[in-house]
Chain A
Amino acid sequence: METVDRLLKKNRFELVLLLPLFLYFLVFVALPFLYNLLLSFSPASGSLGLTAYREVFSDPRFGSAVVNTLVISAVSLALELFLGLGLAMWIFKARGRWARIWRLAFILPLGVPGIVSAANMRYIFDVHGYLNAILQRIGLLKGVVDWMGGGWPSLLAIAVADTWKVTPLVMLVLLAGLKSIPKELYDSARIDGADAWQEFFYITLPLLRRFITMAIIIRGIDAFRIFELPLALAGNNIPVLSTYAYFEYAQYDSPATSAVAGLVLGVMVLVFVLGYIKVMGEG
């Protein structure tokens, strides 16, 4: 409390400057959140109760929405980290003009709005779409595959589609990390006779840890909240938590159940972030 007191005394100017920000978050983040909480107790029915919670938790579609969200997040996160690290290391080694060119080529998806990338992925994963066309042309496939038919192929396809859009961001974060590693470390390692693998595991990876953590947390949060991609690719067929919440509200006109689904999603994100930080032991 004492520190708060000091802050109030010494930094009144800053606090005044911060006022609009504070008010904005109060009105447009904190209040909506509280109202969402209220909505989840179905005030429309006249009295507060847990009906919406019961309805949601007994809905088999909700169960699959939870599983789908988890699977898509895990797969896309793994793919993005793997690809992002690979690309970042390539660009880092390339140096000079080539580094610039590769970097500009690989960040192309950053400039494509989410809904547009979802629409493009629809062309690719359609039964008579371009992935099947390519696979047939190079002779890997005789018939067709129904990528969006549900089950593992669909979840995988959605994760891959998400990877397309997001890998550049992971790449940039890790590239910044690579650039922060002092070059002398590698020089001395080489003098000691370390090979490329040893350099990677004993220097690069440990020193990148902070950046990887950052990438995982930032990306993990977004992956859980994935919305327009499954909405446009699979609609109601393959629900994730966000689209489940959206359909409950927009199609079935039921704000209460929508609010419950949104809250569950929020809790999942929170558990993920706190859990990750706890396991990795970073503040």
Chain B
Amino acid sequence: MGLVVRTAMRGMRLLGLLLVLGWVVFPVYLMVKISLSPPEAVLRPVPEIGLHRITLEHWRRLLSSGGLYPPLIKSLTVAGLTVLLSLLIGVPSAYAIARLPRNWSYRLSVAMFLSRMLPEVVIALPIAVIFIRLNLLDTVMGLVFAHTVKALPVACWLLIGVFRSIPRDLEEQASVDGATTWQILFRIVIPLSLGGIAVAGVFAYLLSWDEFTYAIYLCLAKPTLPLKVYYYVNRGDWFLTSAYAVVTTLPVIVLTYVLHLFLREDVFAGSLKE
């Protein structure tokens, strides 16, 4: 009897889980499906749910319009430079914070966290107003600076954790052997934490690639990929929306899975644990 109830409970739970799984996968499936569906299958009072007919027409339109490459290149460049800038500022700062007395490093982490409380629109508006004056709208550099505002705190938190995990003994030993603090940082600490630095870099990359709010304030004529998706949402073209959505999503999904295959959730939470 107890066994029956338990099996039934287990079955129910599994069913619920499968429902959740369906809910998680369905939007992504839809995106791919619509980019491959003929208009007749989608634009009807009750759209088809299955993928019965396939057309490459929308992908042909996407590739032939010449609208793909400039945003793609811009997104890649901005994300790449954001990683560079975030690490350039983040690595030394995080190392410093990790070495400060506990109470100070705690205060600084909290301060950085508080910067997140400022809504993006509060930061984006003045930057946009100033950039208009300086004609910096649409430049890659302008967007990189804005994206770094978002990426820097995250990179720092991750890196603080990474640097803390390096045994202090190693550094003290090196110091006894006559190495300067500078040498310790570059010869010991950074080589030991290359993996962690890479993770921080990937996070910065993802944040910049996905970023929408700053981008919509700071780009007018030269959009990034997320803006291109929004352009089609606005234009009411479901098919090119989905095709661009697939292009925008693919690299992020791959990177996210690569990260998660190698990392445990502690890394995500750990950076926030302080």
Contacts and interface: CB of A to CB of B under 8 A. Distances in A.
Given A14-B99, A112-B249, A266 B119 contact: yes
B49 A137 contact: yes
B60 interface: no
B20 A87 contact: yes
B246 to A, nearest CB: 8
B59 interface: no
Interface stretch (A46-54, A149-157, A224-232): A224-232
Interface stretch (A29-37, A56-64, A184-192, A197-205): A29-37
Contacts of B96: 11, 13-15, 17-18
B248 interface: yes
A75 interface: no
Contact of B272 (A107, A120, A218, A273): A218
Interface residues of B, number: 89
Interface string B21-38: 101111110110010000
A111 B49 CA distance: 23
A90 B9 CA distance: 13
Contacts of A106: 20-21, 24
A214 B265 contact: no
B38 to A, nearest CB: 15
Interface centre among A29, A132, A172, A245, by most chain B C-beta atoms within 10 angstroms, is: A29
Interface string A232-266: 10000000011001100110000100110111011
A281 interface: no
Interface string A101-118: 011111111111111111
Contacts of A266: 117-119, 122
B233 A122 contact: yes
Nearest to A176: B269
Interface string B92-103: 110111011100
Contacts of B238: 123
Given A112-B253, A113-B226, A242 B92 contact: no
B115 A175 contact: no
A32 B95 CA distance: 27
A28 B146 contact: yes
Contacts of A71: none
A245 B44 contact: no
B92 A17 contact: yes
A87 B93 CA distance: 36
A164 B23 contact: yes
B104 interface: yes
B122 A90 contact: no
Nearest to A274: B117
A20 B117 contact: no
A29 B119 contact: no
A102 B24 CA distance: 12
B149 interface: yes
A39 B178 CA distance: 54
B156 interface: yes
Nearest to B42: A123
B115 A25 contact: yes
A44 B253 CA distance: 45
B199 interface: no
Contacts of A21: 89-90, 92-93, 152, 156
B252 to A, nearest CB: 5
B27 A36 contact: no
A122 B217 CA distance: 23
B121 A246 contact: yes
Contact of B212 (A31, A90, A227): A227
B30 A176 contact: no
Given A21-B89, A228-B230, A242 B119 contact: yes
Contacts of B7: none
Given A20-B93, A87-B20, A129-B47, A39 B253 contact: no
B255 interface: yes
B256 A246 contact: no
Contacts of A124: 26-27, 30
B120 interface: yes
Given A18-B97, A242-B213, A262-B121, A119 B253 contact: no
What 9 A-B pairs come out closest when comparing CB atoms?
A: A111-B256, A176-B269, A111-B253, A14-B96, A21-B93, A17-B96, A120-B27, A35-B126, A113-B210
23 contacts: A7-B100, A11-B100, A28-B127, A32-B126, A103-B265, A108-B24, A108-B25, A108-B28, A108-B253, A115-B210, A119-B232, A123-B31, A132-B46, A137-B49, A164-B23, A173-B268, A173-B272, A176-B268, A232-B230, A241-B119, A259-B125, A262-B122, A266-B118
Given A136-B46, A262-B125, 8 more contacts: A18-B92, A36-B126, A106-B21, A113-B210, A123-B30, A172-B265, A173-B265, A246-B121
